Structure 1
């Protein structure tokens, strides 16, 4: 016996990936419903070898459904997630709305799988920010060995993190540069993204950081250890899919780079590609469509007694969003619902 599964936001980038991954991982689905806003009503989406038509999120009755994967943004989530949860359907939410709610677990299954057991307080589980998800997959096994004191991370985040509008903007700006008569303009980013980088993701806060940077700090503390100090600089780069991160880690205890490499090779969700030669590392274009979090450039930091540098790359539409949501559903099934 399998599950009755809802995917809300099925026509968006993340919603479509959720459907792909449910099919690829053979998640035990007995029945599936795909939901979208009224303007996308009837749009067809693929689920394995099936073609499904979207239903109206506004009028859908969640009663009798087991799991709802939400990829609709914070506004619609605020309206519809409590409705689904009150109907007995467990919501796995990809937006930022519930991530910092103390009554809602924030889960990365390779890192804190037992946290799903806290879902019952609100019948909701939160999916972390895309940049946080891949980072904590790499940090947790190292933290278990040598205890992390401080993390300094610089991100190189693809435009797909801004949704379809970000992808379209990079594509159209690039075309306009080669064909200036196009006169293309967009309000998705505050500056040109084509052939450029923008050190600004989400809104600015009073202390000068952006909300994306704050998310990485708050979420790492909630998922791994509240005592870890984190400072982040988040940058949008002209890459279509795949986030990269340069991470500097300070530990309480010494951790040799060779041991760190061995630990990460054995860690769930991690794939180490670390050869000290031309091309002996992973770049974003190589991670697209993959489930793994790739780790390269593992090396000692000579400026610290107990420091390491690592390079982390992952498909942000997968591990940073859709894959992690499906993994949460798998974990919930294995630990709580136990139907599949």
Structure 2
């Protein structure tokens, strides 16, 4: 026996990727529903490469009774309305928005990092998926933290425009084309020109001068990994379509060398170490697109602090940062709590 699974926000970038990954990983579905806003009702979308077409159902009329799992990729607005409704009807919600991440009674899960925390889902019937930049970072940090205890993290991100949705991807494409033909470039989705530029601003500014994206990385890392870890983040939007990169500097409580870290990362779940100290011996964002792993390169000692390391971390943000992590949570939920057959 399999599960009845609904993907809410199925017509967006992340929703489509959720469907692709459910099919790719052969998640045990007896029934799959694609659910979206009224304007998408009736359109047909692919269920991965299975050849099966799904007719999109209207979220406003969808009854979650009898459905086991709902993967939400609909944004905070619709999620605020429909996630509690689904949860109250007995369907476990796995939500990709930021709405529930810091709620104390909602587990925030990266399966390779804190799988045991999923047991708390019964309080609300809701599980939160972390921010894309946080997800890939904590996968890299967890095995190193277990080995030598991380005290401090300083991270600078290089985040692709797909993190801002289809509108972000369209803007990069349109601006790049406009520049080549000599047309005027006018920012719409982003605060400044994104084509051939970088923008040190993701989400809104907070009173302390940080942005909300940076705040998310701080508080989510503490909730998922360890509340004692200090985190400083600078989040930057770059003219890349898919794939987030991060430059991470770590300070440890205990001694750890670059070689020890490489050996640990080589064996860690969800990580692919590609770290040859030669031209091209590292992974860039374009090379990770479509892959499930978090890639680590450029592991080296940081001589500016005692017990310090620096590394480069790259991942497909639509997969590990969003859709894949949600499906992995569903798989974990099935193994631990929703066993069938």
> Which TM-score band (shorter chain)?
over 0.9
Counterpart of 2:330?
Answer: 329
Counterpart of 1:76?
Answer: 78
Q: Is the contact between residue 288 and residue 314 of structure 1 (CA under 8 Å) also seen in structure 2?
A: yes
Q: Is the contact between residue 100 and residue 106 of structure 2 (CA under 8 Å) also seen in structure 1?
A: yes
How far apart are the structure 1 equivalents of 2:254 and 2:265? 17
Task: Find 2:180's aligned residue among 159, 178, 181.
Answer: 178
Tell me by how many angstroms 1:45 deviates: 1.0
Counterpart of 1:204?
Answer: 205
**Ranges in structure 2 where 5+ consecutive residues have no aligned partner:** none
Q: TM-score, normalised by structure 1?
A: 0.99
Tell me by how many angstroms 1:305 deviates: 1.3
> Across the two proteins, how many residue pairs are aligned to each other?
339
Counterpart of 1:308?
Answer: 309
SS at match of 1:231: strand
Counterpart of 2:248?
Answer: 247
After TM superposition, the structure 1 = structure 2 runs for residues 95-174 of structure 1, keeping only pairs within 5 Å, are 95-174=97-176
How far apart are the structure 2 equivalents of 1:2 and 1:149? 43
Q: Is the contact between residue 132 and residue 219 of structure 1 (CA under 8 Å) also seen in structure 2?
A: yes
- Is 1:8 paired with 2:16? no
How far apart are the structure 2 equivalents of 1:32 and 1:178? 44
Counterpart of 1:291?
Answer: 292
SS at match of 2:297: strand
**Ranges in structure 1 where 5+ consecutive residues have no aligned partner:** none
Counterpart of 1:230?
Answer: 231
How big is the alpha-carbon RMSD for the aligned residues of Structure 1 and Structure 2?
A: 0.7
Counterpart of 1:26?
Answer: 26
After TM superposition, the structure 1 = structure 2 runs for residues 253-272 of structure 1, keeping only pairs within 5 Å, are 253-272=254-273
Runs of 4+ in structure 1 off by over 2 angstroms are: 183-186
SS at match of 1:163: helix
How far apart are the structure 2 equivalents of 1:187 and 1:283? 27
How far apart are the structure 2 equivalents of 1:84 and 1:298? 44
Tell me by how many angstroms 1:168 deviates: 0.2
How far apart are the structure 1 equivalents of 2:104 and 2:181? 51
Tell me by how many angstroms 1:136 deviates: 0.0
How far apart are the structure 2 equivalents of 1:329 and 1:62? 16
Counterpart of 2:46?
Answer: 46
Counterpart of 1:59?
Answer: 61
SS at match of 1:106: coil
Tell me by how many angstroms 1:180 deviates: 2.2
Q: Is the contact between residue 11 and residue 43 of structure 1 (CA under 8 Å) also seen in structure 2?
A: no
Tell me by how many angstroms 1:184 deviates: 4.8
SS at match of 2:162: helix
Q: TM-score, normalised by structure 2?
A: 0.98
